[in-house]
Amino acid sequence: MVTEKERELLRRVWNESLMKQLAHVRSRRFGLGYRYDTGESIRKGNLVVEYPKGLLEFKSQKEPIPLSDVENALIMWSAAGPNGLILADLGVNNNVATFIYATGRTIPGPDNDQGLDLIYIVDDGVYYYRPSQASKIYEIEREDDLGKIVDWYKNYSIKLANGRTDLAGTMPFAMAFNKNFNEIGSTLLLPIYDASRVIVNILFHYFEYERVPIIDDNTGQLADQNGAMKKLIDKGYLTSQIPLTMDLLDRAIGAVAGVVVGTSVQNIRLMSEA
């Protein structure tokens, strides 16, 4: 159940202007309890983070204030939460079957693959966030629906480990400009994209609708170990005169992953600002 205080925060965020968030959004790297240029070596788990002495030496004397359940719930939902059913506005001959899921989320995905998973870390542990699928066209239509966001966070966060993991402001986890990384009191989000579903799906699409053969860049031959692609060409199924290279396919998948994760991160930034 959502308390009245929690509902008030949900209402305030619901009524925030997107224009205002776009105008005010910033990367904010320094919080309560953080430090810069102090000349200290701080042990965090099994790692030691060095804070070299510098002219801008400052150490916050305030205790960190963790996000509330409502604040965390809003951020998780913005990053990868359910928001309703997709439009699927394609004709039969335009490969309407390309959609892997009919339910949508707050972020896009190629073929609506829902390949992004969200791990988050707070003081008491590491969690996997994966709410249930949407059940109606729009899950959030009015203020009365906002409590779902908190329920999804509380009911569909699976604990993977106790306490914070040994991720700290040092390589390979963070570079020099992110020393205050995975600090006590912070919420650390790790969007992880699994491209396996879209790779299989895109091959189905290329073969059935674009009728494109795929060649190996290194050999100039068909990327075909058992002769199946050659048989499809011989039977007239793959007819495109311009083949697709494996390198181009790999680059396309990498670009897609960047778009999905990048959209999730931008949603997180905007919701954090709100």
- The confidence score (pLDDT) of residue 44 equals 80
Q: Can you name the residues that pair with 119 across neighbouring β-strands?
A: 128, 190
The tens-digit pLDDT sequence of the chain (274 residues) is 778 888 899 999 999 999 999 999 999 889 999 999 999 988 887 888 888 999 999 999 999 999 999 999 999 999 999 999 999 998 888 888 889 999 999 999 999 999 999 999 999 999 999 999 888 999 999 999 999 999 999 999 999 999 988 888 788 878 888 888 889 999 999 999 999 999 999 989 988 898 999 999 998 888 887 888 889 899 999 887 888 999 999 999 999 999 999 999 999 999 999 8
Do residues 34 and 42 lie in contact, with contact meaning Cβ atoms separated by under 8 Å?
Answer: no
Give the SS3 label for residue 159.
strand
- The owner of tokens 């949407």 is 134
For residue 175, the tally of other CB atoms under 10 A from its CB is: 11
Strands 244-245 and 214-215: parallel
The one-character DSSP state at 133 is P
Q: Helices 4-14 and 69-80 meet at what angle, rounded to 10?
A: 40
The C-alpha angle 212, 205, 88, rounded to 5 degrees, equals 145
- The confidence score (pLDDT) of residue 177 equals 83
Q: Helices 69-80 and 147-155 meet at what angle, rounded to 10?
A: 90
- The confidence score (pLDDT) of residue 167 equals 85
